Structure 1
Amino acid sequence: MPLAPSEFGSKELAMEITVLNTPIAFGNEANDPVKYLFFLSAKDSNTHLESLAQLVDLLEDSHFYTMLDTATEASQILDYIKDNENKKTEEE
């Protein structure tokens, strides 16, 4: 996962998700082929840690991948992430 820290111009916490139409093999048997790319931008060395933890939760959810594969609009992905976070907050 590429990370853009503040010293390279990052101004705020952000994440980009890209789903490749044609997965790419990078030569790693355990991880090939790669279909999903996640990019993170962090404004300092600490604020992104919570975002990484939330991303790990999503990556453990098989429905997340199905939604990524079928979403036709970015708003669908954002809504799924927000709903997932709201459910997690309600459980705590």
Structure 2
Amino acid sequence: PWFLKNIDVEKSVHRADYQAQLARLQAGGSVSKLKPGPEVVHNALRHALLSQRPRPHYVVTVPARIGAALKRILPASMLYRVLARRA
């Protein structure tokens, strides 16, 4: 992994987090149903490049769609509280 070039995992205060991430990567990563495959991103990119009037933003993942919907229906202060809880 790229971060091993710059970070001494054994001496880091975040050692447990790095080791958990390394274990996930060595096991093949986590497969999430919320993450689309590359074909979804390809379709959005293709549309953006070939369209006469491409949209300014393309929402691809499920969490991004949920965030876009929440942004439309919630007041800003409530949206920020929801986002702060998820961070």
Give the TM bin, normalised by the shorter chain: under 0.3
Q: With the length of structure 1 as denominator, give the TM-score of the two structures.
A: 0.26
Larger strand percent: 1
Q: With the length of structure 2 as denominator, give the TM-score of the two structures.
A: 0.26
Relative contact order (alpha carbons < 8 A, sep ≥ 6): 1 or 2 greater?
Answer: 1
Structure of greater Rg: 2
Larger helix percent: 2
